[in-house]
Structure 1
Amino acid sequence: MAVYALVDCNNFYVSCERVFNPALEGKPVAVLSNNDGCAVARSAESKAIGVPMGEPAFKLRHLVEQHGLILQSSNYALYGDMSERVMSVLATFAPGAEVYSIDECFLDLDGLSVPDLTEWCQHIRATVKRWTGIPVSVGLGGTKTLAKLANRLAKTSPRANGVLDLASHPGWVEPALKRTPVRDVWGIGRNYAGHCGIHGILTAYDLTRAEDGWVRKTMGAVGLRTVMELRGIPVHTLDTEPSDKQTTCCSRSFAESVTGYEHVHDAVLTFASRAAEKIRADGLVAGALQVFAYTDRFRRDQPQVSLNAMVRLAPPTDATPRLIAAAVSGLRSAWRDGYAYKKAGVILIDLVNPANIPRDLFSPAPETGARSRALMAAVDGLNGRLGKGAVGYGLIPKDAPWQMRCGNRSPNYTTAWSDLPVAKA
């Protein structure tokens, strides 16, 4: 019998902040998105005082004054490193593991000789907490969808104490389905939940009783697979070997709107450089590049415009100079004066393994490609040792108006030597 466990980090971004700043324990904390925009993670205490997910920071100021809400700028370098540490620990507990997101991991427990899965999962929780400082919850089920559902209940039920095993207790599945609103089922979005509500399908249990033909007609084959999993029929297997990326994007909303071409140009140059580093780390090359910029859609009092340009790359490349040149060329061709731009970005498309690209008359000579690869390897190596951005293309001022706002960001405790925590006597 298939048994899956979903291990989910509790309030992950907040938990990462608390590992290195214990003074945040027991206090209402919210982590903000890029540019200190809106709440993307909330502690249990901040939820209790009414902080909604996605609430803009300026609407939370009254809670700062009234309830001592602490607003933290996001620190994705820290969160990414802490995620790797948690996933490394989890991988030691099962023969198969799928990292589903930065704070979630599926474990395949099929055939694992464990007398009491609940006790064993409590051991997982204790080990992750002891080795990384991050609290986690565990849900178990005969399918990945049921494991996801069990995890949600494990977080919210005091009796579960962080672990709910629906795989070993089939009699618990029906009550769990009845306690889960259909909108909270993994894979059921807001639109599908609305369609279900119109037809009287309010819980996950109601969804399991729906006719297959109606489910397929309303939610397609994907929705039907979700229903099959809720019925205990495994459809989704563990994805332990993720496929290569098809695209990668580097973009940002600016702290301040900018009108000058030079500011957007500098931002696009920076984004193209970072996107190039990403695909080199994955061993891929890009066959096309898309550059975009647009104005603040929420400022109805200002004229609106959206710039977009696609540039083909022949042959495909991962070289920063070529990608920068393509991005700047696309921006220049699409540029329009007289607008206040709020966001820009670069998307690398048609990513492939360079070994799979056939040679043609227009391919660079082998020695030319070798020189380019050596140069990029040297740049990446220096940035790896000296810190991101130590070596780059173009001199970008640190006070550029498009730079990200992060007024209350914690140090990069685990990824920068200069930010190592210091223990005081």
Structure 2
Amino acid sequence: MIGLIDGNNFYVSCERIFNLTLENRPVAVLSNNDGCVISRSNEFKALNIPMGTPYFQLKPLLGKYGLILKSSNYELYGDISRRMIAVLNEFTPDVEQYSIDEAFIHLKLAAGAGYFEYGQQIRHTILKWVGIPCGVGFARSKTLAKIANHIAKKQPCGVFVMPDNSRAVLDNLPVSEVWGVGRRLAPKLETLGLRSAWQLASADETFLRKKFNVTLAKTARELRGESVIEHEDPAELSQSISCSRSFGRPVVDLSDLAEAVAHYISRAAVKLRKKGQRASGVNVYFQYYPEYEPVKREGGFTGFTVTFERPTSATAEIIMAVSPKLKGIFIDGRRYKKAGVVFFGLESGNKRQMDLFADKIRDAKADRLAQAVDQINRRYGQGTLFNLAEGITKPWAMKRDLLTPCYTTNWEQILKVM
């Protein structure tokens, strides 16, 4: 059996763990640079304010409806997510995290044990230990588990087990709400008479392959209760690792762009080391705004690629390799909106090709330094130690004027009980 555990209104629920005054009030979390709504409480949804509503449109409504808005606190949300996954590992060793707020679990209970009761136990434990309310759906495939979870969230108990004969459920589910179909594909299916999930499940597999693709044919099989979507291995090596952000304001100085790139390199290098990998090279890019005065100029991208002498995950080495090349892609007079880095050619740190002429002592020192920095930042909070090339004030940083403290990842911001 496959279960899907999904945190309800996850970002808002994370905020509510540490601020009980947010309970039963219309709360929303905003996207990067406080752009638009990306998470809503049930009370906020009841006001019929849709996802994606820009912040500037909400400002006149703050007093009228008592809206409470928060900047996205990804450090907090990521840590709460990690705690949720840790709880799930107490119930089964086979946990497949799908996103920051949801995970599939694969399990087979002993004879006589009920999945509904087991789901209630999981839900109660996550709420008690972590503070996140969630929905729990069980089914024989991932696609059906997604549907079961969607139903569970609308029920007071928060748990739903898909029956073996799922026709009654799928008959009432529009095909557009099936995981993997989406808004673009749904109209095409509807014109062919496939308007419900059950009609898609009953469609001929060969027809779906020829008319559409293999993926849709797999979706139909999943709706019939066949588990055919591959189980993702969390230990599988990543093919690339990236980090990019939009700036809090237009950036015009090369020095600010250099700081931002160094910061993104640092963040991505931490991901590399966490996975035990090294990169063979990096792509670096800037994105600039279009201009309309005094002369119209199109927006666009500029970038370059650096291949390292040997695969590395050392932050300082990567910054030194990248920094001299930034001036070559900087266009004076353009306003930049975003920068990013993408590491490629990743390989396992334990299975890399050795270099006869490498300075092994220097490499070992660089590895120990990176490990020490990572340990300190894990213990005392992200950014406790950083490379000076990342800048100190970071005027280009993502705008988060409504940010709450990082309660669980920064000692300086931990809750104090007086």
Instruction: Give the TM-score category using the shorter length.
Output: over 0.9
User: Is it true that 1:201 corresponds to 2:199 in the alignment?
Assistant: no
Quote the residue 2:223 is aligned against.
230
- More divergent stretch after superposition (273-282 vs 129-138): 273-282
Q: Does 1:370 align with 2:364?
A: yes
Select between 9-18 and 44-53 the one with higher mean Cα deviation: 44-53
Provide the residue aligned with 1:81 in structure 2. Answer: 79
Choose which of 257, 260, 271 in structure 1 pairs with 2:264.
271
Could you say if the C-alpha distance between residues 30 and 115 of structure 1 is closer, same or farther in structure 2, counting changes exceeding 3 Å?
Answer: same
Contact 2:381 2:411 in 1 (8 A): no
Q: Cα distance 1:28–1:296, how it changes in 2: closer, same or farther (>3 A)?
A: farther
- 2:241 equivalent to 1:245: no
Aligned residue-pair number: 415
- How far does residue 72 in structure 1 lie from its aligned partner after superposition? 0.5
User: Counterpart of 2:195 in structure 1: which amino acid?
Assistant: L
- Equivalent-residue separation in structure 1 for 2:376 and 2:107 (angstroms): 42
Which residue does 1:163 correspond to in 2?
Answer: 159
SS at match of 2:90: coil
Instruction: Map Cα deviations across residues 62-105 of structure 1 (whole Å, 9 max, x no partner).
Output: 33232111110111111111111111112222342212221112
Distance (Å, rounded) in 2 between the aligned partners of 1:73 and 1:342: 19
Which residue of 382, 401, 407 corresponds with 1:413? 407
Gaps spanning 5+ residues in structure 2: where? none
Deviations 1:23-76 (A, max 9, x none): 111111111112111211111111111222222211222332321111101111
Which is further off, 322-331 or 19-28? 322-331
Distance 1:128 1:385 in 2: 24
8 A Cα contact 1:293 1:341, kept in partner: yes
| Contact residue 282 and residue 341 of structure 2 kept, 8 A | yes
- Which string of whole-angstrom CA distances, capped at 9 and with x for unpartnered residues, describes residues 278-312 of structure 1? 21121110011010111236x76663231121111
Secondary structure of the structure 2 residue equivalent to 1:285: strand
For the structure 1 residues 105 and 114, does the alpha-carbon distance in structure 2 shift closer, same or farther, using more than 3 Å as the test?
Answer: farther
Structure 1 residue corresponding to 2:308, chosen from 313, 322, 339: 313
Asked if the contact 1:292/1:331 (under 8 Å) is kept, the reply is: no
Unaligned runs of 5+ in 1: none
TM-score when normalising by structure 1: 0.92
Correspondence for 1:344: 339
CA 1:96 to 1:388, structure 2 compared with 1: closer, same or farther past 3 Å? Answer: closer
2:171 is equivalent to residue 175 of structure 1:
no
List per-residue Cα deviations over 1:109-128 (Å, max 9, x = no partner). 22434533212211221121
Answer yes or no: is the 8 Å Cα contact 1:114–1:120 preserved in 2.
no
Relative to 1, partners in 2 of residues 1:120 and 1:357: Cα closer, same or farther, differing over 3 Å? closer
The answer on whether the counterparts of 1:258 and 1:401 sit within 8 Å (CA) in structure 2 is: no
Letter matched to residue 328 of structure 2: S
Q: CA deviation at 1:207?
A: 1.0
Q: Is the 8 A contact 2:89 2:95 kept in 1?
A: yes
2:211 is aligned with 1:213: no
Determine which of 116, 126, 134 is the counterpart of 2:114. Answer: 116
| Cα distance between partner residues in 1 of 2:118 and 2:384 | 45
Q: SS of 1:145's equivalent?
A: helix
> Residue deviations 1:381-416, cap 9 Å, x none?
333344322322225555443112111111111111
Residue 295 of structure 1 contacts residue 340 of structure 1 at CA under 8 Å; is this kept in 2?
yes
Aligned to 2:33: 35
1:398 and 1:49, CA in 2 relative to 1: closer, same or farther beyond 3 A? farther
RMSD: 2.0
Q: Which residue in the other structure is 1:135 paired with?
A: 133
> What is the SS of the residue equivalent to 1:78?
helix
Return the alpha-carbon distance in structure 2 between the equivalents of residues 54 and 39 of structure 1. 5
Asked if structure 2 preserves the Cα contact closer than 8 Å seen for 1:247 and 1:350, the reply is yes
